[in-house]
Amino acid sequence: MGVNDELPIYLDHNATTPVAEEVLEAMLPYLRGGFGNPSSGHAYGRRAHEAVETARTQVAEAIGARAHEIVFTSGGTEANNMVVRGVAEKSRGHHAILSTVEHPSVAGPLSRLEREGWSIDRLAVDENGRVRVDQLDLGPETALVSVMLANNETGTIQPIRRVAEATRGTSALVHTDAAQALGKIPVSVDDLGVDLLTLVGHKAYAPKGVGALYVRDTVVLEPLLVGGGQESARRPGTENVPYIVAMGAACALVTAHLDEEAARQRGLRDALFEGLLARIPGVSRNAPRELALPNTLSVRFPGVRGSALLAAAPSIAASTGSACHEGAESASAVLLAMGLAADVALGTVRFSVGRGTSARDVAVSVDALVGAYDEARSVA
């Protein structure tokens, strides 16, 4: 993940993370001899079942939950759809609230409910990307409030506890998508006050294809799928034992020494920004450092498009917030919701460091990005 002759420096950990060696070692036995079906009563099945339950405990411990409140899924998209559809099927109300900066796996199913007759409110954010909690409009029909814990593009951490406090005394359930938060900041379901919380393995050094949903034990969701009785009949289908084991191992890994690793990554992030600021006048953050995830730096580069900058810096792997449709580039909806003009938003690049990022990676990246900026400016 560092500097080498073949691959660029990886500064895109919010998109996905490499599988940690410790996680790979934990899951490999269940791709070999531990292949049993957890529902089988013989020794092979018992071994697989015990592995799943150990992982369930590891995930629960990472967020201060109880093991029986954890449901394993194929990832964050499934977990978020389980929340929206599961609440919709059980609720008597037909009103839901989400923020304007939610992930499509939350916004999409809520938009579908809107087409089916639900009333959906989209909570505005301020210039830092934080939801305006004072604008929450709850009523007797409100069934769900969903606000992500940390934004994947800007790193902005949301005031979820305040959101939860605002719902007290109502029948609304509170959900937070914590995909980007796990392993970067402390995550406690009781401190946050949420009823439902989504976790994603591949954002935290597990493989792609596994996630988990926390469901407070007082909450009953209608299953998204029907079939077998796995996951206490909440998510049918034979369990993906190796990946579930990986999810548990990843949770144990990223929450061990969390404060120290967060401080290290915060230092790298800030060194990257200070290095850019010293050599490129006018660069600016999209979210203040104190409100953002310790690993995430969303930067506006004046006078160039982020896509052009990265094209001129092939030794750096990072992301823009823009999307390309039939050759036309459009600005990030998240940045537009924060009040940025489209041309300014198009100058954004998101850098996200991780456990494998070194100080040398950052120093080399600054040099490469400064050179790329000069090149992109010359042809702009």
Q: List phi, psi (to 5°) of 199.
A: -125, 150
- Cα-Cα-Cα-Cα dihedral of 157, 161, 166, 168, to 10°? 150
204: which residues sit within 8 A by CB, 6+ positions away? Answer: 17, 182, 183, 250, 251, 254
E-strand stretches of 60-118: 70-73, 95-99
Tell which residue, 320, 317, 295, has the closest CA to residue 305: 320
- Paired strand residues for 212: 72, 199
- CA dist list (Å): 90 to 96, 102, 326: 13, 23, 41
Amino acid at site 328: A
Q: Which two tokens stand for residue 147?
A: 């606000």
Cα–Cα distance between 126 and 148 in angstroms, integer? 15
Cα–Cα distance between 158 and 266 in angstroms, integer? 18
Q: Which two tokens stand for residue 265?
A: 């990554």
Annotated catalytic, 251? no
Q: Which of 225, 256, 278, 324 is catalytic?
A: 324
Amino acid at site 186: P
E-strand stretches of 142-205: 142-146, 173-177, 196-200
Q: Which residues are catalytic?
A: 324
